[in-house]
Amino acid sequence: MRKAARLTLVLVAVLVSCLAASCIRSGSIVRELETPDWQYAVETDHYLIYSNISRELVERAAVVAERAYTGAAKRLHVDDDDPAFVKTLERRLDTAPKEFVRTLDDGAKLYELPDGVTLREWSSDNTVRQFELPDGRTFAFWEHAMYGRKVPVYLCKDKEELDAWFPNTSGPGRGGWGPAAGVIGIITTSKNMNVDRDNVAHEIGHQILGYAVYGPPVWLDEGLAMYARVDAETGRYRAGSINTAALLTCAKGAEDGTLVPVDTLVRMDYNAFHFTKNEWQHYAQSWALVHYLIRSKHPQVRGKLARYLDELKKGRDALVALEELYDLDVLQDEYVAYIKALAERELKPRTRQRSRTPDARSSLLLLVAQPLAA
């Protein structure tokens, strides 16, 4: 008996010392970080999360960040190193044989890679690189935002704090994923932690799509970022859960004929999408379009989004590839019908109850920093 009791004591002591030594690994947190700049900071497998707001916020953000990373990486097959994908070149850059050719007039170092690919490199504290394929197409990227680096996530209390930690942002945005700096910065709502967690998941959606393709079309970038989300009421993170605010907007548009045609939405550039009074409608419709493309069972739609993403990963023109895979007239009709059916199923019984919590919209007025033109 005494021996058993001693053993139990030893086990308890080991357990306690393990907890005390922050061998955390509970949920997604690898360890707490000590930093003079932030009151609360944790490290996860893929992120460094900082805030001055509360320990609970960084810890809960850490859990959703890892789930968002894993979910999006799996959904987009980000780890697929198919040699036909341009990002594969980027991933293999450190180990690829490359021969220095010369320094160009603008200071770029020019290298030759296998298979007729050339690389230009502008070195500074934020190195920019650009591939040129043998057919003349170019793809540029920043070193700081390359795949495999732990991404800092700053959960800021105000715009001043955001500006200090999220360099080179412009405009009135509440933060975003900055592909130049390779950071995520967000001004927290300080009202609903679930909205802040949704914003983290949203920006990670942008980050992961950026790991898969260069310069994705805005509708796809925003629609995918909204597809997996944290529900503001329940706090549940789930792919494909209904964004009530977006669906209400789309349902109204479908009802009164004011939906932006699919043909127009898929051609919008960054400025046309964001810098307009209809920005929210563009977000809402992009959410609905991605939801439809992923979930529709229509024979001309089902399963094609993965093929479309593969075309983008190969560096194909986004609009040309879309029109090759889909009949946009069919898409238009079916998209509107899908919105109406979804609204009928999801909104009718809950409209009164849900309309008291206008939350999702505030979670999405975030700008992703404008991508580097390729």
Residues in touch with Zn ion (CB under 5 A): 222, 225, 368
Q: State the minimum distance, in angstroms, from the CB of residue 221 to Zn ion.
A: 7
Q: How far is the CB of 222 from Zn ion (least distance, A)?
A: 5
Q: Considering beta carbons, is residue 57 or 204 the nearer one to Zn ion? A: 204
The three state secondary structure string of the chain is CHHHHHHHHHHHHHHHHHHHCCCCCCCCEEEECCCCCCCEEEEECCEEEEECCCHHHHHHHHHHHHHHHHHHHHHCCCCCCCCCCHHHHHHCCCCCCCEEEEECCCCCEEEECHHHCEEEEECCCCCEEEEECCCCCEEEEEHHHCCCCCEEEEEECCHHHHHHHCCCCCCCCCEEEECCCCEEEEECCCCCHHHHHHHHHHHHHHHHHHHHCCCCCHHHHHHHHHHEEECCCCCCEEECCCCHHHHHHHHHHHHHCCCCCHHHHCCCCHHHHHCCCCHHHHHHHHHHHHHHHHHCCCCCCCCHHHHHHHHHHCCCCHHHHHHHHCCHHHHHHHHHHHHHHHHHHHCCCCHHHHCCCCCHHHHCCCCCCCCCCC
Q: Which is nearer to Zn ion, 121 or 231 (CB)?
A: 231
Min dist. Cβ of residue 225 to Zn ion (A): 5
Residue closer to Zn ion by CB (options 29, 247) is 247
Smallest gap from residue 202 Cβ to Zn ion (A): 6
Q: Which is nearer to Zn ion, 225 or 259 (CB)?
A: 225
CB of 227 to Zn ion, least distance (A): 11
CB-nearer residue toward Zn ion: 58 or 368: 368
User: Closest distance between Zn ion and the C-beta of residue 162, in Å?
Assistant: 15
Contacts by 295-301 with C-beta closer than 8 Å and gap 24+?
295/240, 296/334, 296/338, 298/330, 298/334, 300/326, 300/327, 300/330, 300/334, 301/326, 301/331, 301/334
Q: Tell me how far, at minimum, the Cβ of 59 lies from Zn ion, in Å.
A: 24
Cβ nearer to Zn ion, comparing 38 with 71: 71
How far from chain centre, in Å, is Cα 127? 22
Q: What's the min distance (Å) between Cβ of 72 and Zn ion?
A: 13
Nearest to 153 by CA among 28, 241, 19, 275: 28
Q: Which of 210, 136, 225 is nearest to 180 (CA)?
A: 210
Question: Least CB distance from residue 116 to Zn ion, whole Å?
Answer: 36
Could you tell me the smallest distance in angstroms from the CB atom of residue 364 to Zn ion? Answer: 7
**Beta carbon nearer to Zn ion, 49 or 224:** 224
In whole angstroms, give the CA distance from residue 225 to residue 201: 8
In the complex with Zn ion, the residue whose CB is nearer, 209 or 368, is: 368
Please identify, using beta-carbon distances, which residue of 130 and 370 lies nearer to Zn ion. 370
Q: Closer to Zn ion at the Cβ: 62 or 368?
A: 368
Enter the tokens of residue 222.
């925003």
